[in-house]
């Protein structure tokens, strides 16, 4: 019974191996899956930092808050200064979070 995969041997010098290790670490993949992706022509990108997930959650919450302010403002047909101040505070918070994360 034939194996469902084929094995190849690849010889790398020290510099090439170090580069491969860096690429694997940056992508978040182990070496073999990284090489398979490269062979298939996949354009790999570095894995996003762990802080991105937290940033996306915060941005989602801020967007929800701004949407609620807009909904309430539309229902009343006017925007009070407190609504405007709160929306501006949320926008500034969003800007600060993005700037800190990037």
For residue 94, what is the DSSP state?
H
Closest CA to 19 of 4, 6, 35, 8: 35
pTM, rounded to two decimals: 0.50
pLDDT over 70 for what percent of the chain?
97
Using CA atoms, how far residue 98 sits from 51, 53, 58, in Å, is 10, 12, 10
Mean pLDDT confidence for 17-41: 93
Residues 78 and 95: beta-carbon distance below 8 Å? no
What confidence tier does 65 reach under pLDDT thresholds 50, 70, 90? confident
Tell me what pLDDT residue 52 has. Answer: 80
Overall residue count recorded for the chain in this entry: 102
Q: Average pLDDT, whole number, for the chain?
A: 85
Residues 60 and 39: beta-carbon distance below 8 Å? no
């Amino acid at each position: 019974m034939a194996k469902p995969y084929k094995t190849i041997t690849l010889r790398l010098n020290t510099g090439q191996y170090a580069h491969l290790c860096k690429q694997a670490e940056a992508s978040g993949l182990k070496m073999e899956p990284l090489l398979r992706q490269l062979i298939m022509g996949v354009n790999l990108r570095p894995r996003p930092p762990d802080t991105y997930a937290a940033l996306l959650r915060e941005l989602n919450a801020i967007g929800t808050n701004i949407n609620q302010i807009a909904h309430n403002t539309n229902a009343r047909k006017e925007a009070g200064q407190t609504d405007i101040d709160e929306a501006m505070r949320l926008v500034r918070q969003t800007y600060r979070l993005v700037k800190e994360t990037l």
